[in-house]
Amino acid sequence: MLRKEQNDLLTQTGPGTPMGQMFRLHWLPALLASELPENECPPVRIKLLSERLLAWRDTQGRYALNDEFCAHRGVSLWFGRNEQNGLRCPYHGWKYDHTGQCIEVPSEPAESGFCTKVKLKSYPLVERGGVLWAYMGPPEKQPPLPEWEFALMPADRRYMSKRLQESNWLQAMEGGIDSSHVSFLHSGELNSDPLFKGSKGNQYNMGDMKPVFEVVESPGGLFIGARRNAENGNYYWRVTQWVMPAFTMIPPRADHPVHGHFWVPIDDENCWAWSFDYKVTRPLSQHEVEAMDAGKGIHVEYVPGTFRPAANKDNDYLVDRAAQKRGDTFSGVFGIAMQDASLQESMGPIIDRTKENLVSTDNGIIMARHRLLRSLKAMMDKGTTPPGIDLAHQRVRSAAVVLPPDQPFKEAAKEALVVQAGKEHVTV
């Protein structure tokens, strides 16, 4: 459990909140690059960290991310005309450039310089790895561009999707490091999903249903190791990475693409679940990409034209009780992502953590909260830079590996847990 003040501290990310400040020190995935496909394309409304923003791309291809509303009388600039290096408000014609600077107020004489006094709040927005990354913090603290391994892969080796999750970011993220739910909630998928099945690791998974866990602090966050018995007294380890505050990476299975997530607050009651998949040394196969497009693995099918999953709270997640009874799915909901999302949304928009009864296997979650709270305190009291911003913290990998019984996996699997240029993930 958490006390109410602690829960508030970790779940509130709007402007001025401590957790919001921590998020604002990072480059955050804001949009898929495909949402702004060409110069002068239609702008996109986006909310991040409880701020309503407008993303657009000007005549020269420069990305812009600014206050959604016109400084004049507050019209949404989503209706704006994207023309000649600027976005023009359709109401009275005020025009803004990609930095949010007002460059034209038609009603005022140009010589008056009135427009120079008007500027919309705007943030840097940069493309990398098919994602548009936003930095919403103080300019003097802007870190170098993110170096998550997937984002540095050529386009044909990576796949990225995002979906709306109608819950606070923290309960979504905690699902990403909750290793003990996999043998229950997702048991059906280990053997049926085209992006999971057929790994030796799955046999260890099924052969030993009661994994033992080890939680170890890493420079950027946590390693969460789930240990099962392998041959000859060795251990089969699945090591999940959490990098503060919102990056999680799932251990690989066989030669399947490796995947992970970012959990980015939209506001305190909604978040974006970003889901990436990649291979280091080969392009994703057509078969794999088709499966991802079809919503397999950690991806979902959508309500057409939106990022809202097709199975959502308005249709009771298409729950199929007969399939649940047959054991095809454990919860009656299909697909790994929606199995997680449906349960996390069912908790309510912000789960009341004063009512929880955590157990020993929840130490990954307990440690993540402990580290977040500790780093928040250091950031607020002493201005300490939180973990996860240092590029070295981003060059991490999850791993699936068989190790001798007495070694700390953090050391024994040292190479497997960091990026090795040109080499695939260590996997079983």
Partner 1 sequence: MESESARMSSAAEARFRIDAPNSKPRVVKVIALDQRSERVVKELAQGRWNRAAFFTASAFGGAPRKGESFAGWLSDLAGRTKNLVEEVNSADLVVMVATAGENAQAASLIGEACSLKRVTTTALILGSADVPDETLSKTLSQLRPWALMLVIASAEEYVEDMLLALRA
| Residue 125 backbone zone (phi > 0: left; psi -120 to 50: alpha; other: beta) | beta
Identity of the residue, 83 or 411, whose beta carbon is nearer to partner 1 in the bound complex: 411
3-state DSSP call for residue 175?
helix
Residue number with the shortest CB distance to Fe ion? 340
Residue count of the chain: 428
- 378 interface partner picked from Fe ion, partner 1, none, CB below 5 to 8 A per type: none
Residues forming beta bridges with residue 396, ordered by sequence position? 418
In the complex, least distance from residue 220 CB atom to partner 1, rounded to whole angstroms: 13
Phi, psi of 190 (to 5 degrees): -55, -30
Say whether the peptide bond before residue 245 is cis (omega within 30 degrees of 0): yes
- 340 interface partner picked from Fe ion, partner 1, none, CB below 5 to 8 A per type: Fe ion
- 337 interface partner picked from Fe ion, partner 1, none, CB below 5 to 8 A per type: none
Q: How far is 350 from 106, CA to CA, in rounded Å?
A: 46
Please give the residue ranges that form the binding site for partner 1 (CB under 8 A). 1-2, 166, 212-217, 269, 313-317, 342, 345-350, 352, 355, 357-363, 366-367, 369-370, 373-374, 405-408, 410-411
Q: How far is 390 from 25, CA to CA, in rounded Å?
A: 11
Assigned token pair, 306: 């939106």
In the complex, least distance from residue 171 CB atom to Fe ion, rounded to whole angstroms: 12
Using CB under 5 A as the binding rule, the residues of this chain from 320 to 359 that contact Fe ion are 340
CA 161 to chain centre: 10
- 194 interface partner picked from partner 1, Fe ion, none, CB below 5 to 8 A per type: none
Between vectors from CA 407 to CA 403 and to CA 412, what angle results, nearest 5°? Answer: 65
Q: How far is 300 from 319, CA to CA, in rounded Å?
A: 15
- 174 interface partner picked from Fe ion, partner 1, none, CB below 5 to 8 A per type: none
Identity of the residue, 340 or 345, whose beta carbon is nearer to partner 1 in the bound complex: 345
Identity of the residue, 79 or 213, whose beta carbon is nearer to partner 1 in the bound complex: 213
Unique residue bearing structure tokens 């729950």: 319
In the complex, least distance from residue 342 CB atom to partner 1, rounded to whole angstroms: 8
In the complex, least distance from residue 181 CB atom to Fe ion, rounded to whole angstroms: 6
Based on the shown chain and the rule CB under 5 A, indicate whether residue 193 belongs to the binding site for Fe ion.
Answer: no
- 359 interface partner picked from partner 1, Fe ion, none, CB below 5 to 8 A per type: partner 1
Assigned token pair, 81: 């005309």
In the complex, least distance from residue 374 CB atom to partner 1, rounded to whole angstroms: 7
**Torsion sign across C-alpha atoms 201, 202, 204, 205:** positive
In the complex, least distance from residue 193 CB atom to partner 1, rounded to whole angstroms: 24
In the complex, least distance from residue 413 CB atom to partner 1, rounded to whole angstroms: 12
Q: Which residues bind Fe ion (CB under 5 A)?
A: 340
